[in-house]
Amino acid sequence: MHKMEEILQQGYGLVTVPRCDDSRGSLCFAEWRHLPFEPKRVFWIFDVPAEARRGGHSHETCAEVVFAVQGSFDMTVDTGKHRCTFHMDRPDTGIYIGPGTWCELSAFQPGTVCVVVASDLYDPEGYVNDYETYKLMHQ
């Protein structure tokens, strides 16, 4: 099975994009072929206080790939069957969060910038924001 197929089947997983380093600095990029979906939205999160948490939800249909393009944070993902935490600190490595996967971002370091590529436009009706409700839906 191809790595991207495994990630999609599992509901989450690391996605690596190309990185180019030379004497002028570094550059990372993502073309649609590097992602498990065609993006419809991109947003970024920054200036998050160290004690604050972001995310704390799952999407019913939207998938995302989340990158720490500067700094670092921890990302906890939960499929209802598996729960794990990733330390996100590489601009060339994001984490795929599939529909129905709970995610929460925490432990932001000062100066962190997080970029999120999403498969759908923003739809507040497509969120599950309560973890107890989420657990009941994924038993």
| Residues taking part in catalysis | 57
Instruction: Return d(Cα 41, Cα 33) in angstroms, integer.
Output: 16
Q: Is there a contact between 95 and 86 (Cβ–Cβ < 8 Å)?
A: yes
Note the Cα 68 to chain centre separation in Å: 9
116: left (phi over 0), alpha (psi -120 to 50) or beta: beta
Rounding to the nearest 10 degrees, give the CA dihedral for residues 55, 125, 11, 36.
Answer: -100
Q: Which of 70, 77, 59 is nearest to 108 (CA)?
A: 70
